[in-house]
Structure 1
Amino acid sequence: MNPMSRTLPIKRAAHVYLVNDRHLLLVAERMDDGSIFYGLPGGKAHLGESLAAAAVRQVRHETGLSVTDLQFVSLLEGEMLTGTRNECYATFGRFTAHFTGDLAPTDPEVVGTRWVPFDEVLSLVKFGPPPEVEERNPLIWIPTRDFLNGQARTYYPI
């Protein structure tokens, strides 16, 4: 097939680095295989919704926190999960923000939240199968690694 003739579904999502005393807030979700996955608060944007608006909505749903004063950190984009049923062209925004409120997730998929010391964040990430889960793709975590090291770039091709 001519690669120029391919049409890929588009996935747009936004995540927020919420930081408190060199700890990063992660949400714990149960995956389809029963394992616990730690990820950044945030998620998919609705049709016509900006990445910033999606970040605010998703963080509220997954953590109970209200975020304001979003600051853009990084954009990740490119083809993901090629050859799987979830193949897509992804655009992921990463932000920082001020936050208020108490941790009280309303998302039924979130089984907990955790403030994780910067130096422990990447040890909680599970890489590998199933290949349909983009959060387990190491490329998705490079911007977070860079952010934690104070070396975030504004653009990351996937």
Structure 2
Amino acid sequence: MSHLSRTLPLKRAAHVYLVQDQRLLLVAERMDDGSIFYGLPGGKAGPGESLADAAVRQVQVETGLTVTDLNFVSLLEGEMLTGTRNECYAIFGRFTAHFRGELNPTDPEVVGTRWVPFDEVMALVRYGPPPEVEERNPLIWVPTRDFLKGESRSYYPI
């Protein structure tokens, strides 16, 4: 079987950079191994759902905030977690948006939210094992690092 004939499941997800006073909103989630993971609000798109619609829905659940006026920032795309049970072809959109409301997550996996100064965001990121957790892949965080430096590109191949 040639490399190109494999069929990989598609994973489409969208995350939003919510910014206030040079601080970025991150959500804290408990991972399967019990550790706390800080990530961008957002998540997986449902079948037939646009990335923008997924971003609005997921941010509402994970933060309690209502987001409007989404602006596309970047797309991250490529094969992820090759050789693991979570192997997939990932299409991840990143947006900025206006927001209103109070922080009040209703997602049971979210254990908190935090406004983090730009210069502290990357220090919260945890890389490494377990290997099947995409959020720990350093490539996933390159668009965010660039965004925080004001150097976003529109496309990032994984």
Question: Counterpart amino acid of 1:78?
Answer: G
> Quick one: distance in 2 between partners of 1:60 and 1:107?
9
Correspondence for 1:102: 102
| Equivalent residue, structure 1, for 2:11 | 11
Moved over 4 A (4+): none
The match for 1:139 is 139
Q: What does residue 32 of structure 2 align with? A: 32
Q: Give the superposition deviation at 1:33.
A: 0.7
Partner of 2:130: 130
Which residue is 1:65 aligned to?
65
User: TM-score of the superposition, structure 1-length normalised?
Assistant: 0.99
Q: Distance in 2 between matches of 1:29 and 1:4?
A: 35
Query: In the aligned structure 1, how far is the partner of 2:35 from the partner of 2:106?
Result: 20
Deviation at 1:48, TM superposition (A): 0.1
The separation in 1 between residues aligned to 2:45 and 2:100, in whole angstroms, is 22
Partner in structure 2 of residue 118 of structure 1: 118
Partner secondary structure for residue 94 of structure 2: strand
For residues 44-59 of structure 1, the aligned pairs below 5 Å read 44-59=44-59
Which secondary structure state, in structure 2, belongs to the residue aligned with residue 147 of structure 1?
A: helix
> How many angstroms apart in 1 are the aligned matches of 2:99 and 2:4?
43
Aligned residues: 158
Cα-Cα RMSD: 0.4
Equivalences for residues 84-99 of structure 1 within 5 A: 84-99=84-99
C-alpha displacement of 1:60: 0.1
Residues in 2 aligned to 1:49 and 1:135: alpha-carbon distance in whole angstroms: 22
Residue equivalent to 2:23: 23
Query: Please, what TM-score do these two structures have when normalized by structure 2?
Result: 0.99
Q: Which runs of 5+ in 2 are unaligned?
A: none
- 2:43 is aligned to 43
Give % identity: 83
Q: CA deviation at 1:5?
A: 1.2
Offset at residue 4 of structure 1 (A): 1.6
Query: What is the distance in 1 between the residues matched to 2:83 and 2:22?
Result: 38
Distance 1:134 1:155 in 2: 18
Amino acid at match of 2:3: P
- Secondary structure at the counterpart of residue 105 of structure 2: coil
CA–CA separation in structure 1 for the residues paired with 2:4 and 2:59 = 36
Paired AA for residue 126 in structure 1: R
